[in-house]
Chains A and B, each alone.
Chain A
């Protein structure tokens, strides 16, 4: 290949600048890569709090939220149920029962205030069991907040899903916003500068007034489905700055694909050992970041990887999983390794 000396010189200078520049600045923390499973567990726990917030705010008049609240037991708890069962099987069973009671109340249209209060108490114990104090760094908390803002069922995505799919996703987004505010006020705001606090409050005000003025969805969302996107992205940027943490694992897609393969490996071992609860929580930890950051890119540049990978991810979390879950998991693992090779 013919090398243009001018371009080569530019590349060399750029490399030197980048190396010198990076040495002078403290490296940001990478909570997603450092604590992938703990982040996924915490996200599941915070989603439960978000849905409980929504049920409380709906105050007995649950409308169509019965179709969404079932996710407490069909999705959220499955993000950490294997680990919780390993740590304290009685507590895991107690939490599942408590969440099922909330689901039953909401679906039946009964007042769920008592079951919500009971579930919150069990949930707090589960949180303390799964997420130890050493793990709850500022960077880790910022990562969980970023997930609540940007991931599926979070503030931005729930609004978009409400606009495009099921209007009753709306209360989940409202509940996630309540949860973000609570965590911000209790654990993060004290670390922020005055201007960061001011910027965050401005974003909260926007979300409170324009996006989620009430827990109840409007009759229809006719405006921009991505109305919350700008504010939540801005908030994530502020969180990155104040925590000096990289909250977008997609900045390095090759590393992300590799990390997801590494995260999945123990899940495959668990499936092979017959521990499906631990297996499926590993799949959940992989599925969200895959869907958010990799699926569209791989669909464009490597559909031969994406199509089977996406199908396996869906099958493994479904209520009718493949007969040989360990084999399916290993096949998925190989695809992620392959993805790492091309990114």
Chain B
């Protein structure tokens, strides 16, 4: 995966200071001509991503092209809006497949509707439905793309499946109302958060065993590993905080307080800056945390959609997208300036956001 060099942009801007407008214009045209001469395919692939927004009530996925910030496709998931819904998603490392947690609206009952639905984004068609009984709420793919792991809300379990065969690898007990799930960057650990027990369960994927349950902030919603895997972040919706778990021995090393009524839900780790972005579901805000100091450095409210529940950032670190449940939209934020730069109409009840590279057809 190519990551656009944001630091280089900063340097370039610095270097152009003091150069006149005419000279800058000439340089710009020269750069454009050079890019055209080289051909644009590689640059487009580096700059474009697909942003996926799951829409709980219209039971579909909005596909946004990040280069134009327009919805380029809407993928029907169940054909039965209001009965069966998509929520959490994950994308395969090559961008080819999205894995969608699909369930009915009975969170405490295990039914046949509970699946991890696999969609080929080259055709936008459902290619597999992996039976994941127990109301899967969120799903994570392993770094090698061979497995998906899910939080099974109805039965207080975590589970893993081979994406090729659909074969179950393991299920294990976690806290009550399991919700968030992530796989560590080295593939060793699966962390699953549970709302009602305020816990994160640590599962050892190598030995297929639960290592421990870690008490975290109240009503944990989502868990996200840092890109280097040294820590994991857990959003506590009622706690109004983000718990930081050190992954070497799975202990809490910090709790970042976002305020009484901050309502943190989904999170996105910036791939190029030391930042964590956290959406405030009930507060229509995005909290920006410096991950070196664990300090809240910015709260974005102006221009936000209503009840943002999901959030994702493009792999080049340029744009942040939220999934706004009450305004049925995705808010686009410039990650450099931390300002809202657009609103995209999505489907009803937007729930989660994730980003993938655009797969090559060959």
Contacts and interface: CB of A to CB of B under 8 A. Distances in A.
Given A14-B294, A251-B218, A297 B253 contact: no
Given A164-B108, A225-B108, A11 B253 contact: yes
B56 to A, nearest CB: 10
Residues of A contacting B: mostly: helix
Max chain A C-beta neighbours (<10 A), residue from B215, B237, B238, B260: B260
Interface string A279-323: 000000000000000001100110000000000000000000000
Nearest to A239: B261
A343 B282 CA distance: 28
A343 B196 contact: no
Interface string A7-35: 10011011101100110000010000000
A22 B258 CA distance: 11
B244 to A, nearest CB: 8
A300 B294 contact: no
A55 to B, nearest CB: 30
B213 interface: yes
Contacts of A21: 257
A250 interface: yes
Contacts, number: 97
A233 to B, nearest CB: 7
B106 interface: yes
A136 B153 CA distance: 39
A237 interface: yes
Interface string B258-281: 001101000000000000000000
B230 interface: yes
B274 to A, nearest CB: 11
B33 to A, nearest CB: 45
A28 B295 contact: no
A208 interface: no
Interface residues of A, number: 36
A240 interface: yes
B91 interface: no
Contacts of A251: 217-218, 238-240
Given A7-B246, A7-B253, A225-B108, A297 B261 contact: no
A21 B241 CA distance: 13
A225 B109 CA distance: 11
B116 to A, nearest CB: 21
Contact of B199 (A164, A224, A240, A301): A301
Interface string A231-252: 0011001101100101010110
Given A226-B107, A251-B240, A297-B199, 6 more contacts: A4-B230, A6-B230, A13-B295, A14-B294, A18-B255, A296-B197
27 contacts: A4-B248, A6-B230, A10-B294, A14-B253, A14-B254, A15-B254, A17-B293, A17-B294, A18-B257, A28-B260, A223-B105, A224-B105, A224-B106, A225-B107, A226-B107, A237-B263, A241-B260, A248-B218, A251-B239, A296-B196, A297-B199, A297-B215, A300-B176, A300-B197, A300-B199, A300-B213, A343-B215
Interface of B: 105-108, 173, 175-176, 196-199, 213, 215, 217-218, 230-231, 237-240, 244, 246, 248-249, 253-257, 260-261, 263, 282-283, 292-295
